[in-house]
């Protein structure tokens, strides 16, 4: 899954960061970097919730073109249970 992070300054000192591919992921921050960081944290939380609720891990494990450390641990844990 590839995500697009869009940032825009709405008013001086108020930045909006959103991810169009994931409904509801839009946050405000005092700087572009702060808003982007908060939006990416929200993406991880949404994807983790989706995984815990049974979404296909192949859809959620590779968010930024690399497998996250967390998804590697989950895969190892699930393999140990099998």
pLDDT tens digits, 30-60: 999 999 999 999 988 888 887 777 655 555 4
Q: What 8-state DSSP symbol labels residue 78?
A: H
How would residue 66 be classed by pLDDT, with cut points 50, 70 and 90? very low
**DSSP one-letter string for 23-70:** TT-EEEESSHHHHHHHHHHHHHHHHHHHHHTT--HHHHS-SSSS--HH
The pLDDT of residue 47: 82
Higher pLDDT, 1 or 18: 18
The pLDDT of residue 3: 81
Place of tokens 């949404």: 46
Q: Which two tokens stand for residue 37?
A: 């960081």
**β-pair partners for 11:** 14
SS3 77: helix
Q: Where exactly are the structural domains of the chain?
A: 6-81
């Amino acid at each position: 899954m590839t995500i697009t992070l869009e940032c825009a300054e709405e008013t001086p000192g108020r930045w909006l960061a959103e991810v169009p591919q994931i409904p509801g992921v839009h946050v405000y921050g005092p700087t572009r970097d702060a808003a982007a960081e908060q939006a990416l944290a929200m993406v991880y939380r949404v994807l983790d919730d989706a995984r815990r609720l049974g979404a296909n891990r192949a859809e959620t494990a590779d968010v930024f073109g690399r497998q996250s450390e967390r998804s590697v641990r989950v895969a190892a844990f699930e393999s140990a249970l099998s």
